[in-house]
């Protein structure tokens, strides 16, 4: 009985020592397995656009802006709804430029 209990304590101790190495504390956002809700709506709107369903495309972008107004995708949705062309993956360095090099003004965001 003593030997069994000692083995259990040893296995538990070894397991707890390796636990911090098994779990990453901050996952890399470039390797996420799931989209955020605003990203999912953005991709859905782009799918509707590709399928030629302009009404569903517009309604989905409007829903995105209404539900997630501060998200990066909402900013892109506002630009698309205003008639501007936006790439699928913009690089926003300081929040004032999108990938196509055009500037985002405060009026176009609101």
> How confident is the model over 21-31, as pLDDT tens digits?
556 566 666 77
> What backbone phi and psi angles, to 5 degrees, belong to 103?
-90, 150
Phi and psi at residue 104, to the nearest 5°: -105, 115
- Express each pLDDT in 30-67 by its tens digit: 776 778 899 999 999 999 999 999 999 999 999 999 99
Rounded-to-integer distance, Cα 45 and Cα 59, Å: 8
Compute φ and ψ for 3, nearest 5 degrees. Answer: -65, -40
Is this prediction's pTM over 0.95?
no
Q: What is the mean pLDDT of residues 81-103?
A: 61
- Binned at pLDDT 50, 70 and 90, residue 5 comes out as confident
Residue 67 φ/ψ, nearest 5 degrees? -80, -35
| The token pair that represents 101 in the structure block | 């090099």
């Amino acid at each position: 009985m003593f030997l069994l209990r000692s083995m259990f304590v040893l296995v538990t101790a070894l397991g707890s020592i390796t636990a911090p190495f098994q779990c990453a504390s901050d996952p890399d956002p470039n390797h996420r397995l799931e989209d955020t809700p605003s990203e999912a709506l953005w991709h859905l709107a782009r799918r509707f656009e590709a399928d030629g369903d302009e009404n569903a495309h517009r309604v989905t972008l409007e829903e995105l802006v209404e539900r997630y107004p501060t998200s990066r995708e909402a900013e892109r949705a506002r630009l698309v709804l205003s008639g501007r062309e936006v790439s699928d993956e913009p690089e926003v360095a300081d929040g004032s430029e999108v990938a196509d090099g055009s500037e985002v003004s405060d009026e176009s965001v609101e």
